[in-house]
């Protein structure tokens, strides 16, 4: 996997905030980056485009409370915006139990609606990290020539 510059920042934000939103356009590597985090942190990944994963969240407070010991990665969060309110309660409950960071990683597109809803509901509980398409410095030096010649 290509190492993304934002990886370090993402880990720092997960160590500082109970929730982190990794936002960006489709196909820039949000899911790949999040799945790599599973290798270094105990995690639970849910794809909210998947009906079986959405069904697990029919009672989000119950299901997510049973996984409070792990980072819960919610991919395509914009598909289930009604989750923001239960997440707020779970974050506050986690804080009372001494868990102040690294509870949720939310992946989604940087839509205005998503940003507005999450910032209102999760104010003071969430950090935003924007993932953009590859930076030329993220590409191996030997591959850069190929990129330049394609221009």
CATH of residue 16's domain is: 3.40.50.300
Rg (CA), the chain: 16
Q: Which residues contact 8 (CB under 8 A, 6 or more apart)?
A: none
Exposed / middle / buried, residue 93 (Cβ in 10 Å: 0-12, 13-18, 19+): middle
**Considering the domain boundaries, does residue 98 fall inside one?**
yes
**Considering the domain boundaries, does residue 1 fall inside one?**
no
**Considering the domain boundaries, does residue 142 fall inside one?**
yes
**Considering the domain boundaries, does residue 84 fall inside one?**
yes
Q: What's the domain range around 35? A: 6-150
Q: How confident is the model at residue 85 (pLDDT cuts 50, 70, 90)?
A: very high
pLDDT at 61 over 80: yes
Cβ proximity of 91 and 18 under 8 Å: yes
Q: How confident is the model at residue 122 (pLDDT cuts 50, 70, 90)?
A: confident
**Considering the domain boundaries, does residue 65 fall inside one?**
yes
pLDDT tens, residue by residue, 2-52: 555 678 889 999 999 999 999 887 777 788 888 999 889 999 999 999 999
Number of structural domains in the chain:
1
**Considering the domain boundaries, does residue 96 fall inside one?**
yes
**Considering the domain boundaries, does residue 140 fall inside one?**
yes
Q: Output the pTM of the full model.
A: 0.83
Residue owning tokens 């992946």: 107
């Amino acid at each position: 996997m290509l190492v993304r510059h934002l990886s370090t920042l993402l880990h720092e934000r997960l160590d500082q905030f109970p929730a982190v939103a990794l936002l960006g356009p489709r196909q820039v590597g949000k899911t790949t980056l999040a799945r790599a985090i599973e290798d270094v942190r105990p995690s639970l990944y849910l794809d909210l485009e998947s009906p079986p994963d959405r069904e697990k969240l029919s009672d989000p407070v119950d299901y997510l409370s049973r996984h409070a010991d792990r980072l819960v990665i919610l991919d395509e969060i914009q598909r289930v915006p009604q989750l923001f309110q239960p997440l707020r309660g779970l974050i506050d409950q986690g804080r009372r139990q001494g868990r102040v960071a690294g509870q949720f990683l939310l992946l989604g597109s940087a839509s205005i609606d998503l940003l507005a809803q999450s910032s209102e509901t999760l104010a003071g509980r969430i950090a935003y990290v924007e993932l953009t398409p590859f930076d030329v410095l993220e590409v191996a030096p030997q591959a850069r020539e190929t990129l330049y010649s394609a221009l």
